[in-house]
A and B are shown apart, each in its own frame.
Chain A
Amino acid sequence: QVQLVQSGAEVKKPGASVKVSCKASGYSFTTYAMHWVRQAPGQRLEWMGWINAGNGNTKYSEKFQGRVTITRDTSASTAYMELSSLRSEDTAVYYCASSGPSAWYLFDYWGQGTLVTVSS
Chain B
Amino acid sequence: EIVMTQSPATLSVSPGERATLSCRASQSVSSNLAWYQQKPGQAPRLLIYGASTRATGFPARFSGSGSGTEFTLTISSLQSEDFAVYYCQQYNTWPPTFGQGTKVEIK
Interface residues of A (CB under 8 A from B): 44-47, 59, 61-62, 95, 103-113
Q: Are A45 and B95 in contact (CB under 8 A)?
A: no
Contact status B43-A103, CB under 8 Å: no
Instruction: List chain B positions with a Cβ less than 8 A from chain A.
Output: 32, 34, 36, 42-46, 49, 55, 87, 89, 91, 94-101
How many Å from the CB of A44 to the closest CB on chain B?
Answer: 5
Please give, as numbers and ranges, the residues of chain A lying within 8 Å of B95 by CB-CB distance. 47, 61-62
**Selected A-B contacts with CB under 8 Å, 26 pairs:** A44-B98, A44-B99, A44-B100, A44-B101, A45-B87, A45-B98, A47-B95, A47-B97, A59-B94, A61-B95, A95-B43, A95-B44, A103-B32, A103-B91, A104-B91, A105-B91, A105-B96, A106-B34, A106-B91, A107-B36, A107-B96, A108-B46, A108-B55, A109-B46, A110-B43, A111-B43
Determine chain A's interface SS by DSSP, over half rule. Answer: loop
- 7 new A-B contacts at CB < 8 Å, known A106-B34, A106-B49: A44-B98, A47-B95, A47-B96, A47-B98, A104-B91, A105-B94, A108-B55
Measured between alpha carbons, how far is A95 from B44 in the docked complex, in Å? Answer: 9
3 closest pairs, A vs B, by CB? A105-B91, A110-B43, A105-B96
B32 contact set on A, CB distance < 8 A? 103, 106
B7 CB to closest chain A CB (Å) equals 14
Given the complex of chains A and B, what is the CA–CA distance between A45 and B100 in angstroms?
Answer: 8
Contact of B89 among A45, A59, A113 (CB under 8 A): A45
Give Cα A61 to B43, complex, Å.
21
* Shortest CB distance B100–A (Å): 5
Q: A47 vs B98: C-alpha distance in the bound complex, in angstroms?
A: 8
